[in-house]
Amino acid sequence: MNSNQFEPSNISLHSLYPNLSKHFLYKYILSVGDKLMGLDKLQTIYDNSDFKGLPYKEFADTLISEFKTPVVGVDNLQANLPKIGPVIIVANHPFGCIEGIALASEVMKIRGDVKVLANKALAMFRELQSLFIFIDPLKPKEPTNMKALKDCRRHLNSDGVLILFPSGKVSEFESSKKRVCDGDWNRVAAHLARSCEAKVVPVFFEGTNSSQFLLLARIWSKLKLVMLFREMMNRRGSTINMKVGRVLTPEILSSLKDVGAMNDYLRAQVYALDPKYQYSWPADKTTKMLPLAESIGKSKISEELLQLPKEQKLASYKGFTVYYGYQHQISNIVLEIARERERVFRLHNEGSGNAMDTDSFDATYVHLFIIQDQTLDLIGAYRMGQTDILLKDGNLENLYLSKMFSFKANFINQQEPCLEMGRSFIVPEHQKSFYGLYLLWRGIGEFVVKHPQYRRLYGTVSISKLYSSNSVEYMNRILTEPSGEVEANYPFNVPNNPELEDFTSKHREHNGVLSALVCGTELDGKDIPVLMKQYQKLGARYYCIGIDRSFNDTPGMLLSVHLPSAPNKSLKQYLSNGLDGYLAYKKEH
């Protein structure tokens, strides 16, 4: 840049307070402030640098290069940052300055339409002034702040990228939280995301400023302003570790009806990226997959269906029929169920590795299954244990779930007849259909109509390890209500992220929060398991998560449903004409 066109930066308090510099006493105080804050040294570095006078993009790149503070995690930024359209990047603020310049430098390599909402103190760097939208966080009601917010909105409405540090100040020890983290986040990012329908990308920076900085900030908060630029220079030669999360779309954010909840959600999504609290699933025990068993053949299926008592044909719908039977009645169909279970479970990283998924409980449990009438294809099944029969001898080991959970004597399965539900599946070819899940539940409904002593269902929803551990922990924190009646033999234990704990304790009752957390975490955008949603509609109570050592160490969430208390709309759908009789049984017994 030509020196006739550019006035060098004056990295000094004098440039921020030019009117005060006209008075001798204030001029002296500002000069002392420059020395205390290290601005004089920063000015010397600037004067002797190669970035002096460069256009803002080159200035940011060269400053990061000369400070020898390379950014780690750029690949994820390149992969996750949308290439077009309005985007807000929200991040924590552990260092107070250098991470903002580093982030802007990397974002500008991907997109040219970048602005940073920044503290007006950074106006000292004249080369960066066109990159920044300045705000005064110390004076929230300052008129210039309103103009800054209008500029932010205008930039987003022009499909630009806006980088925000919603805390508005550097991280420090927060006495109320008893940890070093950002202070309360301003809701500006949430407001802008909603009003401009912008996508949001969460970014987390690892680390903190020095212990000396944190100590002085605890003594007097304003002392951190004195130390901030010294901390920036002390970071010379240090790597900046950046973690980038999944793009949070307006569709995901719209499930958070309240701006306050959205603001807290954005913060939680940023801090969820903290590697200190990441948990990796253990290596699969199943390393070798045997070929699937051969299908048993349609003639054997047809023969066994014809031999079933007619009352075991539960319901039909659009060319499909749901039946139930016991292994001694339908031994070949149970083999086909076991074969298809293994095929489906392998797709979710839950396969046994054997030719079929079977165990000793297949012989003692009821098998509810769906057959396509014309082709005789098996499209889905559910396994149900009748506790009044299985526990006649009082032996809890007759229950599959006793391997996962320790049931106390006052748990429902020992207080009344229950159905223990498990091993459900729909084959891939029909998983996107409505009728698959509908027929399973229609079958369950007709089964309890025929056996009205079963007022409660309990079982687990298996949570595939294709979910991140963060998503499983969200489900655990938001849905479960621990009980003294049951506990997991092998609990799901992950490092406790205090930011996640803060968020879930505050918002667990809000509709849409769990789906927003999971969809905003999973790279493929998947929501909570379909079966979990189904049980939620029925008013399920969730107890805890246990690890199923017999199911490739898959997490399973234990739940129960009191059917007579379920919403009448669902009961009518699944119990149909038998609903009144089923509910009347409750009154008579």
Close Cβ partners of 95 (under 8 Å, ≥ 6 residues apart) = 170, 205, 207, 209, 231, 232, 235
Q: Are 270 and 393 found together in one domain?
A: no
Quote the CA–CA distance of 94 and 117 in Å, as a whole number. Answer: 16
Quote the CA–CA distance of 214 and 221 in Å, as a whole number. Answer: 9
Task: Decide if 52 is inside a domain.
Answer: no
Closest to 324 in 3D by CA, of 193, 440, 412, 195: 440
Distance between terminal CA atoms of the chain? 90
315 phi/psi in degrees, rounded to 5: -165, 155
Closest to 170 in 3D by CA, of 97, 96, 231: 96
Task: Decide if 567 is inside a domain.
Answer: yes
Alpha helices for 293-433 (secondary structure H): 298-307, 331-347, 387-390
Q: Are 271 and 387 found together in one domain?
A: no
Surface-to-core class of residue 490, CB atoms within 10 Å of its CB (0-12 exposed, 13-18 middle, 19+ buried): middle
Instruction: Give the chain's largest Cα–Cα span.
Output: 105
Surface-to-core class of residue 449, CB atoms within 10 Å of its CB (0-12 exposed, 13-18 middle, 19+ buried): buried
> 């030669």: which residue's tokens?
237
Which residue(s) pair with 325 in the sheet? Answer: 367
Task: Decide if 158 is inside a domain.
Answer: yes
Closest to 135 in 3D by CA, of 126, 124, 147, 127: 147
Close Cβ partners of 376 (under 8 Å, ≥ 6 residues apart) = 298, 301, 302, 305
Supply the DSSP symbol for 276. G
How many separate helices (H) and strands (E) can be counted in the chain?
Answer: 22, 19
Task: Decide if 369 is inside a domain.
Answer: no
- Decide if 520 contacts 269 (C-beta within 8 A): yes
Which residue(s) pair with 343 in the sheet? Answer: none
SS3 384: strand
Quote the CA–CA distance of 183 and 176 in Å, as a whole number. Answer: 10
Task: Decide if 60 is inside a domain.
Answer: no
The tens place of each residue's pLDDT in the chain, 589 residues long, gives: 444 456 777 777 777 677 777 777 767 777 777 777 777 777 787 788 778 888 889 988 988 988 899 999 999 999 999 999 999 999 999 998 899 999 999 999 999 999 999 988 788 888 888 999 998 876 777 888 899 999 999 999 999 999 999 998 899 999 999 999 999 999 999 999 999 999 999 999 999 999 988 988 888 776 777 777 888 888 889 999 999 999 999 999 999 989 999 999 999 999 999 999 998 888 887 778 999 999 999 999 999 999 999 999 999 999 999 999 999 999 999 999 999 999 999 998 888 999 999 999 999 999 999 999 999 999 999 999 999 999 999 999 999 999 999 999 999 999 999 999 999 999 999 998 888 999 999 999 999 999 999 999 999 999 999 999 999 999 999 999 999 999 999 999 999 999 999 999 999 888 889 999 999 999 999 999 999 999 999 999 999 999 998 888 899 999 999 999 999 999 999 999 999 999 999 655 4
pLDDT at residue 16 in the model: 65
Task: Decide if 151 is inside a domain.
Answer: yes
Closest to 62 in 3D by CA, of 117, 101, 97, 91: 101
Task: Decide if 431 is inside a domain.
Answer: yes
Find the domain containing 496 and state its range.
380-588
Task: Decide if 576 is inside a domain.
Answer: yes
Surface-to-core class of residue 588, CB atoms within 10 Å of its CB (0-12 exposed, 13-18 middle, 19+ buried): exposed
- What is the number of structural domains in the chain? 2
> 């929230």: which residue's tokens?
140
Surface-to-core class of residue 502, CB atoms within 10 Å of its CB (0-12 exposed, 13-18 middle, 19+ buried): middle
- Decide if 181 contacts 171 (C-beta within 8 A): yes
- CA 560 to each of CA 277, 390, 412, 446, 538: distance values in angstroms, whole numbers, following the listed order: 30, 18, 9, 19, 10
CATH number of the domain encompassing residue 84: 3.40.1130.10
pLDDT at residue 3 in the model: 43
